[in-house]
A and B are shown apart, each in its own frame.
Chain A
Amino acid sequence: MPKQIGIPRAISYYNNYPFYYGFFKSLGIEVILSDKTTAKTINDGSKYVVSDTCLPVKVYVGHVVNLLNKGCNTIFIPSIQSTGYKINNCSKVRGLPEIIRNILPQNFTMIEPTLDKTENINLKDFCRQTANAFNINDEQKIKMAIDNGFKVYNSFTEMTRAGVSYKEALDNAINGKTVKKTIDIVKPISVAIMAHGYNLFDERISLNMIKKLEKMNVKVYTSLNVSFEDAIKSIDEIGEVQYWANEPELTGTAAYYLLNKKVDGIIALSAFGCGPDSLMADEIYYHCKERKVPFIHLTIDEHSGEAGFVTRIEAFIDMLLRKKRNAIIKRVDINRKSAAQVITINKEKVLTSSVK
C-alpha cells in the first residue's frame, strides 16, 4: 500500500506547505490536499465545533472532514506551539490536534508532531516525529528530507519576496521552477494588508480581497513581500516586543511598510473573535495614528456579506485617493515654482534616458 498523507488546506498550509511538500516527497509519501474552501467546507466544519470558535478553525475542521470523505485516512495535523522562547501561537492553533481528536467521530490516524521551542522541541524533532509515524527511522533520510523541504520553501519565499503572487509562486515552487517577477506597473495607490496567511490567501475567507483591490488599481503588499528578518527588525524598530508567533506576519509587515513609508494605507483583516489579532491590530492602529497613516480593521466571519465588505474597501480606497490628491494639489499650489522645476527635471531625465 502506498504511503499517503492528507494535508488540510488551512492554517499552517498557507505558511508551510512548500516545506511540507518537499519533505514528504523526499520521504516517498504521497501528499493529498483537501479541496479549496467553499461554503460547504465552512458548514461542515461548523457542525462539529462550538459556535464561539473562530472561522479559520471551523474551516480547518471542514477541510479535515473533506479529506476523510475523500477516503484519506492519515491526516497531518501539526501542533505548532511556539516558534521561539516564550513566543507562542494562539491556543486554538496550538490545540488543533486536541480539537480534532475530540470532535470528529470517524476513525482515522492523526500525525500530530509538536513544534515547541520553549520546551526545546525544534524543527528537527518536529520532522523526526512526523517521519517516525511512518516508520521511517533513518536519520540520514530524514535529514535529506528536511533539506529538500527547505529547498522548495526557499525557492517559494524567494519568488514571493520578488513580488510573484502567492498562487503562482506556490505552483512554480512545487514544480521545481523559478519565475522572475513580472514588470511592475506603477499604481496610484498602494496598501499593505496585515493578516494571517490562512485568512488572506484563502479566497473564500478573505472574499478574494487581493484580487478585488488589484481591480481597483491598487498595489497590494502582503507579508509575503517582507522577509522574516526585516519583519522582526521592524517590530523592534517601531518599539514593540514580539509576543505571538504570528507577529512577523502581521505587526512585522505593517511596521515594515509604516517605517519605509511605502504605502498610503494599511488594512487589517482578521477573523471575528481572534485573540492575537485584536491586540496586534490595536498596536498598529496606535502607530498609524501617530504617523497619520489611514488604517482600517476589517472583521470577517462565516456570514460575511460580500457587498458590505466591498463597500468598506471601496470607501477606504476612495479616501486614500482623495487624501493623496489633496496632498499633491497642496504641494503644487504652495510651491508652484518648485513643482514646475520637478516636472522639468523629470522631463530632462526622461529625455536623457531615451537618448541613451
Chain B
Amino acid sequence: MNTREKLEKNKMENKIPAKDRIIAWPRMGRIDIPLKALVISLGAKVVIPPANSNKALEIGVKNSIEGICLPYKLNLANYIQALDKGANTLMMFQAPGSCRLGNYTKMAQKTLKSMGYEFDMVIFDMYQSKMKQTLQAFWHVTHCLNPWKYYKGFSLGFNKFFAIDTAEKLLFYTRPREINKGDAEKCYEKWLKITDETNSVLKAKKLKKQIIEDFKKIPIDKNKEVPVVYLIGEFFVLLDPYTNQNIEKELGEMGVEVQRQIMFSDWLEHVLKPSLFYHRESHRERSVRYAEKYMKRAIGGECIETIGDTVYAAKHGVDGIIHISPFSCMPEIVAQNILPKVSREEDIPVMSLVIDEQTGKAGYITRIEAFIDLVKRKKRKKLKDNVNLLSK
C-alpha cells in the first residue's frame, strides 16, 4: 500500500455503525450552530463540547507536545471534552499543503488513541471546490440516503452561517456607535439564540433580513467619529473569541469599528462551491492581486491574505490594522516580517499581536489602547490636513 492510499484510508474510519454514531467536532467561534443544524437534519446525534476556556486550554496543553501551535491544543481539548461527554465520532476538516494544520488530525488520532479513547475519525479535505468530498464525509458519518435531507441540512447550515456572519458584521458596526451601551451585544446574543433554534429552511432563509432590520432599530450616534480598524491574521485566532481574548469587543467598547476580512461564510462558499458557479473574485484572488508588489507567491497559510488585506485596507481608507497570530505560526511569522515595509510604504499603522497560552490580558489591552490612540491621532491629523487643503 503506498503512502497516498494509506492516507486516504486513515481519513475515514468505519468501526462504529452509523446508527450508533454520536458526532462531535472542534469549536471555533460559532460554527457549532450551523454544523449542528446540518448534522441533525441528516439524522445523527451530536455532542457539542463546551466553548473554549482556560480549562480547555489546560487540558490541551497537558496532552499535546510543547512545540505545536495553539489552535491544535484547543482542538485536542475539544475532542477530549466531547469524548468524555459520550461522542464516538470526531469530524475535522483539513487543508493539506498549507502549514501544520494538515497534521492536526493525524496527531490527534494518535494522541487520543494512546490515551485509551475509542472513536472513529472522519477527515475531509477543504480547498477549492471540494463539495463532493464533503458530501462523502457526511454520508460516511450518517449513512443518510435521502437527498431531501441533504438539501435541508446544507441549506439550513449555509443560511445559518450567513445569518451569523451578518449579525457579526452588524455588531461590529453598531457597537462603537450605540447610544445605550450593551444594546448591540444583547441583540447579537438574541439572534444567535434564534438562529440556533430555527429548524425550517424557509425560516432560515428569512433570518438574514430579520437580523438587518432588528439591528437598524438600535439607536446609534451617526455623527460619532469612529476609526475603522481591520483585523487580519490567522484564521482560527481571528474567529475564536476565547483565543483572541475577545479583541473585537474590547475594540468596539473603545469606540472603534472593527472589520474582518476573513468571514467563515465567505470562505466556506469559496471553498465548497464548484468554481463553475463561483463568479465573484474570491478573497484569496483579491489578496493575491493586492499583495503583488510585496509577495510573488503564496507560501501557505493565510500569509498572502494578510498582506493583501493590508494593502487593500490602505487603499480603501481604513485607519489601522491589527494583526493577530498564534505563537510560532510559520506563515504569520513571514507576514510579520513583511508587514513593517507594507505599513511604511502604504502609510497605514500596523500592530502585530502574538498570542500564546500565557498571554496576560492587561498587557494586551494596554498595547491595543496605545495603538488605538495612535490611530485616532493620525486620523484627526489627516482630517485637519484635508480641511487646510480645502480652505486654501
Residues of A close to B342: CB separation below 8 A = 102
A76 to chain B, nearest CB (A): 16
Residues of B close to A98: CB separation below 8 A = 294-297, 299, 334, 338
Q: Is A249 an interface residue, CB under 8 A from the partner? A: no
Flag if B341 contacts A91 (CB, 8 Å): no
- Provide the bound-state CA to CA distance between A97 and B102, in Å: 24
Q: Is B157 an interface residue, CB under 8 A from the partner? A: no
Residues of A close to B182: CB separation below 8 A = none
Binding stretch for chain A, among B36-44, B103-111, B278-286, B377-385: B103-111
Given contacts A91-B334, A98-B299, contact A273 B328 (CB under 8 A): yes
Residues of B close to A90: CB separation below 8 A = 330
- Provide the bound-state CA to CA distance between A281 and B3, in Å: 20
- Provide the bound-state CA to CA distance between A90 and B10, in Å: 24
- Provide the bound-state CA to CA distance between A114 and B297, in Å: 9
Binding stretch for chain A, among B26-34, B63-71, B158-166, B208-216: B63-71
- Provide the bound-state CA to CA distance between A101 and B330, in Å: 18
Flag if B330 contacts A286 (CB, 8 Å): no
- Provide the bound-state CA to CA distance between A213 and B10, in Å: 40
Q: Which residue of A50, A236, A286 contacts B333 across the interface (Cβ within 8 Å)? A: A50
- Provide the bound-state CA to CA distance between A54 and B329, in Å: 11
Q: Which residue of B3, B296, B303 contacts A236 across the interface (Cβ within 8 Å)? A: B3
* Most-contacted residue by chain A among B294, B297, B329, B342 (CB, 10 A): B297
Residues of B close to A274: CB separation below 8 A = 67
How many residues does chain A have at the interface if contact means C-beta atoms less than 8 Å apart? Answer: 40
Flag if B297 contacts A79 (CB, 8 Å): yes
Residues of B close to A273: CB separation below 8 A = 67, 328
Given contacts A98-B297, A112-B296, A241-B7, contact A50 B337 (CB under 8 A): yes
Q: Is A184 an interface residue, CB under 8 A from the partner? A: no
- Provide the bound-state CA to CA distance between A99 and B99, in Å: 17
- Provide the bound-state CA to CA distance between A95 and B302, in Å: 13
Residues of B close to A118: CB separation below 8 A = 97
Residues 56 to 104 of chain A near chain B (Cβ within 8 Å): 79, 81-82, 86-88, 90-92, 94-95, 97-99, 101-103
Flag if A279 contacts B103 (CB, 8 Å): yes
Flag if B7 contacts A81 (CB, 8 Å): no
Interface residues as binary, B299-314 with A (CB distance below 8 Å gives 1, 0 otherwise): 1110100000000000
Residues of B close to A95: CB separation below 8 A = 295, 297, 299, 303, 331, 334
- Provide the bound-state CA to CA distance between A275 and B336, in Å: 16
Residues 328 to 357 of chain B near chain A (Cβ within 8 Å): 328-331, 333-334, 336-338, 340-342, 352, 354
Flag if B333 contacts A282 (CB, 8 Å): no
- Provide the bound-state CA to CA distance between A50 and B338, in Å: 10
Interface residues as binary, B86-113 with A (CB distance below 8 Å gives 1, 0 otherwise): 0000000000111110110011001000
Q: Is A277 an interface residue, CB under 8 A from the partner? A: yes
* Most-contacted residue by chain A among B68, B294, B299, B340 (CB, 10 A): B299
Q: Is A52 an interface residue, CB under 8 A from the partner? A: yes
Q: Which residue of A50, A103, A279 contacts B100 across the interface (Cβ within 8 Å)? A: A279
Q: Which residue of B6, B7, B114, B299 contacts A91 across the interface (Cβ within 8 Å)? A: B299
Q: Is A126 an interface residue, CB under 8 A from the partner? A: no
Q: Is B327 an interface residue, CB under 8 A from the partner? A: yes
Residues 199 to 244 of chain A near chain B (Cβ within 8 Å): 235-236, 241-243
Residues of A close to B333: CB separation below 8 A = 50, 52-54, 91-92
Residues of A close to B331: CB separation below 8 A = 91, 95
Residues of A close to B301: CB separation below 8 A = 91
Q: Which residue of B66, B69, B299, B337 contacts A275 across the interface (Cβ within 8 Å)? A: B69
- Provide the bound-state CA to CA distance between A275 and B234, in Å: 15
Flag if A91 contacts B99 (CB, 8 Å): yes
Nearest CB to that of B102 among chain A residues? A243
- Provide the bound-state CA to CA distance between A8 and B340, in Å: 24
Q: Which residue of B299, B338, B352 contacts A81 across the interface (Cβ within 8 Å)? A: B299
Flag if A103 contacts B341 (CB, 8 Å): yes
A273 to chain B, nearest CB (A): 5
Q: Which residue of B67, B98, B327 contacts A277 across the interface (Cβ within 8 Å)? A: B67
Q: Is A49 an interface residue, CB under 8 A from the partner? A: yes
Given contacts A274-B67, A278-B67, A279-B107, contact A88 B338 (CB under 8 A): no
- Provide the bound-state CA to CA distance between A281 and B102, in Å: 16
Nearest CB to that of A101 among chain B residues? B294
A46 to chain B, nearest CB (A): 12
Residues of A close to B300: CB separation below 8 A = 88, 91, 94
Flag if A52 contacts B96 (CB, 8 Å): no
- Provide the bound-state CA to CA distance between A9 and B68, in Å: 29
Residues of A close to B352: CB separation below 8 A = 50
* Most-contacted residue by chain B among A52, A87, A101, A281 (CB, 10 A): A52
Given contacts A241-B106, A278-B66, A286-B110, contact A102 B299 (CB under 8 A): no
Flag if B100 contacts A275 (CB, 8 Å): yes
Q: Give A residues with C-beta under 8 Å from B.
A: 49-50, 52-54, 79, 81-82, 86-88, 90-92, 94-95, 97-99, 101-103, 112, 114, 118, 235-236, 241-243, 273-279, 281-282, 286
A-B contact pairs, 26 of them (CB 8 A): A49-B337, A50-B333, A50-B337, A52-B333, A53-B333, A79-B297, A81-B299, A86-B97, A90-B330, A91-B300, A91-B330, A91-B334, A98-B294, A98-B334, A102-B337, A114-B297, A241-B106, A242-B3, A243-B96, A274-B67, A275-B99, A275-B329, A278-B66, A278-B68, A278-B328, A286-B110
Q: Give B residues with C-beta under 8 Å from A.
A: 2-3, 6-7, 10, 65-69, 96-100, 102-103, 106-107, 110, 114, 294-297, 299-301, 303, 327-331, 333-334, 336-338, 340-342, 352, 354
4 tightest A-B CB contacts, nearest first: A278-B67, A95-B299, A91-B330, A94-B299
Known contacts A52-B327, A236-B6, then 13 further A-B pairs from the complex at CB < 8 Å, ordered by chain A residue = A94-B297, A95-B303, A95-B334, A98-B296, A102-B342, A103-B338, A114-B297, A241-B3, A275-B69, A278-B66, A278-B328, A279-B107, A282-B107
